[in-house]
Amino acid sequence: MNDKTDTLCATRDLILSGQIKVTEVVQSCLERIRKTEPVIQAFVNIQEVKALDLARKMDEQGPDKDKPLWGIPLTLKDNICTRDQRTTCGSKMLENFNPCYDATLVRKLREAGAIFLGKTNLDEFAEGSSTENSAHKKTRNPWDLNKVPGGSSGGSAASIAAGQSLGSVGTDTGGSIRQPASFCGVFGMKPTYGRVSRYGVVALASSMDQAGPIAANTADCAAILQVISGHDPLDSTSMDVPVPDYLSSLERRTDLKGLRVGLPAQYWEGKLDSEVERVCSKALEQISLAGAETVTLDMPHTPHAVAVYEIIAMAESSSNMARFDGVKYGYRDKEARELLDMYIKTRSRAFGEEVQRRIMIGSYVLSAGYYDAYFKKAAQVRRLIYQDFIQAFEYCDLICAPVSPFTAFRLGEMVDDPLQMYLLDIFTVSLNLAGMAGITVPAGLGDRTDMPVGIQLMGPAFSEELLLQTAHVLENYLPPLPSPRALNE
Amino acid sequence: MDIDRDLIIKIAGLARLEIEPDQADKFAHQSREIIEYMDCLNQVDTTGVEPFYSPSDKVSVMREDVCLATHERKDILDNAPGHDGKYFIVPRII
């Protein structure tokens, strides 16, 4: 894509002023997909014909200024239900599932004029941190094709890094937007729990799941978040809190004067790879240069966050996965002669290894003899983690931390060691446990691996406006990343 | 309780899964490692701490009990692996 149309907001201006047709924008994305998809494998399915048909219709009607994403090509992670368009969750279980309804966020994006180019790859049912658990294919990192894109929204992040669309919506239960955004050098936001409706977003861990934007810059994230946010009667946990004008609020802040940024010792000391530490420290210098004051913090329960997260996530997902029984939708094993046998064979043959492992451990921690020792205990420590955040925000407006202790790892490097893979999520899971908001900003390239390093801003519930403003200022202070190396000819 | 292959096979059965014999040892080993790691929470004193189950304080949201047209029966059944046009069809139960 040329420079003028490589961001959502710039493209929108060109479309509205009649300087470019929607068809041209869509074709440019499809051309980019044809060129890059054979190597990165970000899509589960591509809706070329539907997208072009819609683009032509829109061009005939002419621009609609009231629709904030009119003519903008987007992608969706494939655990977000789309009416009459396959929604597989990266699983054999749902390989032929065609929802008869749109997720609320999809409906809102359609009403705003967005065009969907297709669905992006993910770890099966969003369970993973590398997208290697997909039943379909292995997505590759556009910066190094031998490395993972991160996960579980790895398809969305890789796709944005490769310039295949102008924005994507992923989901983040324990870092699944922020970590792949960091690994692929793009922006990704996990909104506050309750900011975006979960209706039609296939559930992983219901008390932590939240959908959010992945895009090439802060403003594009703001434009997408603007549309998908808001209360929805179909999701009783979505909150009736006013949605600010995120996009125009970005212009109200050009520096970080008066902002207090907290640096929790537990995120910055130990466990951090030295190249990640160096890139993140440079980003901190820019935060100070922009006028913010930094304060060190203590968030003492952070080291326990992965254990708490895994117990709760596995317990909730084992309950959510119970719905896949071969009766109402999805795969059914045809050999079984009796109902119970059908359940067992269907689930054993259609769920991948990680999903089965998590169902079993989830069942164990919820079982009568162990409920108090694991699930209840984890929920108690969850409160302590939540209180760590509440106390931190008495001393600062936002928290700044690395997203991941390492840059993207090699494909296959971690697949046989699930515990080590879980431990990589140490810097992202606490935010989901607390239900608060965060955003990944690309901070630079590691000096050892030459791979992207992201930095994370975290804020209290419903602080998206301040987070986006701060990310926007930081984005302007940091040098932009070059284009992903592995895609350069 | 020790997490061994017999326990894994039992839990799998309760979760309506069946584990291939050659997988049971691997699952047992991995699960044991993960659960032993989870035991680190025992170091945290949680006396008197109220469990935190959801960031949402809207525990039970009520709505008017009215009928709404949401989905067509046909659209729902179209995704079912077995149906007769009216009902889901499953293998025999008893």
**ipTM for the complex shown:** 0.95
Task: State mean pLDDT over B49-72.
Answer: 89
Cβ contact, residue pair B79, A301, below 8 Å: no
pLDDT digits (tens, 9 = 90+) for A104-142: 999 999 999 999 999 999 999 999 999 999 999 999 999
- Residue in A336, A381, A386 closest to B44 by CB: A381
Cβ–Cβ < 8 Å for A196, A76: no
- Residue A285 in domain: no
Cβ contact, residue pair A331, B61, below 8 Å: no
Q: What percentage of chain A reaches a pLDDT higher than 70?
A: 99
Confidence band of A1 (pLDDT split at 50, 70, 90): very low
Scored b (16 or more CB within 10 A) or e, B58-89 reads eeeeeeeeeeeeeeeeeebbebbbebeeeeee
Calculate how close chain A gets to B79, using CA atoms only, in Å.
5
Task: State mean pLDDT over A445-468.
Answer: 98
d(CA A434, CA A308): 11
* Percent of chain B that is helix, strand, coil (3-state, to 5): 40, 5, 55
When divided into structural domains, chain B yields a total of 1
Q: What percentage of chain B reaches a pLDDT higher than 90?
A: 78
d(CA A475, CA A430): 24
Residue A281 has what pLDDT?
A: 97
Q: What angle do CA A250, A253, A255 make, to 5 degrees?
A: 130
Cβ contact, residue pair A364, B31, below 8 Å: yes
| C-alpha pair distances (Å), A462 with each of A192, A256, A458 | 6, 19, 11
Any CB–CB contact under 8 A between A234 and chain B? no
Instruction: Examine the residue annotation and report whether A376 is marked as an active-site residue of this protein.
Output: no
Task: State mean pLDDT over A281-286.
Answer: 98
Question: Phi-psi bin for A462: left (phi > 0), alpha (psi -120 to 50), beta?
Answer: left
Any CB–CB contact under 8 A between A169 and chain B? no
- Residue in B3, B38, B53 closest to A307 by CB: B38
Q: What is the dihedral of CA B56, B61, B67, B69, to 10 degrees?
A: -10
d(CA A67, CA B35): 50
Any CB–CB contact under 8 A between A343 and chain B? yes
Alpha carbon of residue A323 to chain centroid: 24
Calculate how close chain A gets to B25, using CA atoms only, in Å.
12
d(CA A317, CA A356): 10
Any CB–CB contact under 8 A between B86 and chain A? no
Any CB–CB contact under 8 A between B31 and chain A? yes
Query: With a CB-CB cutoff of 8 Å, which residues 280-309 of chain A face chain B?
Result: 301, 304, 306-308
Residue B21 has what pLDDT?
A: 85
Cβ contact, residue pair B78, A418, below 8 Å: no
Question: Phi-psi bin for A363: left (phi > 0), alpha (psi -120 to 50), beta?
Answer: alpha
Residue A458 has what pLDDT?
A: 98
Residue A415 has what pLDDT?
A: 87
- Residue B80 in domain: no
Q: Which residue from A120, A155, A123 is spatially nearest to A317, judged by alpha carbons?
A: A123
- Residue B32 in domain: yes
- Residue in A239, A341, A419 closest to B37 by CB: A419
Cβ contact, residue pair B55, A435, below 8 Å: yes
d(CA A377, CA A382): 8
Average pLDDT along chain A: 96
Q: Is the pLDDT of residue A270 over 60?
A: yes
- Residue B38 in domain: yes
Residue A416 has what pLDDT?
A: 87
Coil vs helix vs strand at A257: coil
Residues 6+ apart with CB under 8 A from A29: A1, A73, A117, A164, A165, A166
Contacts of A309 in chain B (CB under 8 A): none
Q: Is the pLDDT of residue A300 over 50?
A: yes
d(CA A212, CA A238): 14
- Residue B72 in domain: no
Contacts of B60 in chain A (CB under 8 A): 236
Residue B94 has what pLDDT?
A: 75
Range of the domain at B30: 5-43
When divided into structural domains, chain A yields a total of 1
List the strands of the sheet with A43-46, edge to edge. Answer: A43-46, A115-120, A73-77, A168-171, A211-215, A187-190, A437-445, A452-459, A398-402, A260-264, A293-297
| C-alpha pair distances (Å), A104 with each of A83, A177, A262, A284, A313 | 11, 19, 35, 37, 23
Q: How many A×B Cβ pairs under 8 Å?
A: 170
Q: What angle do CA A234, A390, A407 make, to 5 degrees?
A: 80
Residue A456 has what pLDDT?
A: 98
Q: What percentage of chain A reaches a pLDDT higher than 90?
A: 97
Calculate how close chain B gets to A485, using CA atoms only, in Å.
36
Task: State mean pLDDT over B88-93.
Answer: 92
pLDDT digits (tens, 9 = 90+) for A185-234: 999 999 999 999 999 999 999 999 999 999 999 999 999 999 999 999 99
Task: State mean pLDDT over B53-68.
Answer: 86
- Residue A343 in domain: no
Instruction: Examine the residue annotation and report whether A334 is marked as an active-site residue of this protein.
Output: no
d(CA A304, CA B44): 9
Query: With a CB-CB cutoff of 8 Å, which residues 318-337 of chain A face chain B?
Result: 318, 322, 325-332, 336-337
* Percent of chain A that is helix, strand, coil (3-state, to 5): 45, 15, 40
- How far apart, in Å, do the first and last CA atoms of chain A sit? 14
Query: With a CB-CB cutoff of 8 Å, which residues 50-69 of chain B face chain A?
Result: 50-56, 58, 60-61, 63
Q: Is the pLDDT of residue A489 over 80?
A: no
Q: Is the pLDDT of residue B1 over 80?
A: no
- Residue A36 in domain: yes
- Residue A137 in domain: yes
Rounded to the nearest 5°, which phi and psi values hold at A133? Answer: -85, 5
What CATH number is given to the structural domain containing A425? 3.90.1300.10
Task: State mean pLDDT over A475-483.
Answer: 96
* Site of tokens 């959908």: A211
Which residue of the set A28, A130, A134, A176 is catalytic? A176
Spell out the long-range contacts of A336-340 with Cβ–Cβ below 8 A and sequence spacing 24 or more. Answer: A336/B91, A337/B91, A337/B92, A338/B91, A338/B92, A338/B93, A339/B90, A339/B91, A339/B92, A339/B93, A340/B16
d(CA A243, CA A241): 6
Instruction: Examine the residue annotation and report whether A282 is marked as an active-site residue of this protein.
Output: no
- Residue A353 in domain: no
pLDDT digits (tens, 9 = 90+) for A400-448: 999 999 999 999 999 889 999 999 999 999 999 999 999 999 999 999 9
List, in sequence order, the alpha helices (H) in A190-273: 218-228, 246-249, 265-268
Task: State mean pLDDT over A338-343.
Answer: 96
Which residue of the set A28, A129, A134, A152 is catalytic? A152
Residue A2 has what pLDDT?
A: 42
Residue B22 has what pLDDT?
A: 85
Range of the domain at A434: 3-264+394-487
Cβ contact, residue pair A327, B30, below 8 Å: no
Most A CBs within 10 Å, among B17, B25, B88, to test the A interface: B17
Residue B93 has what pLDDT?
A: 85
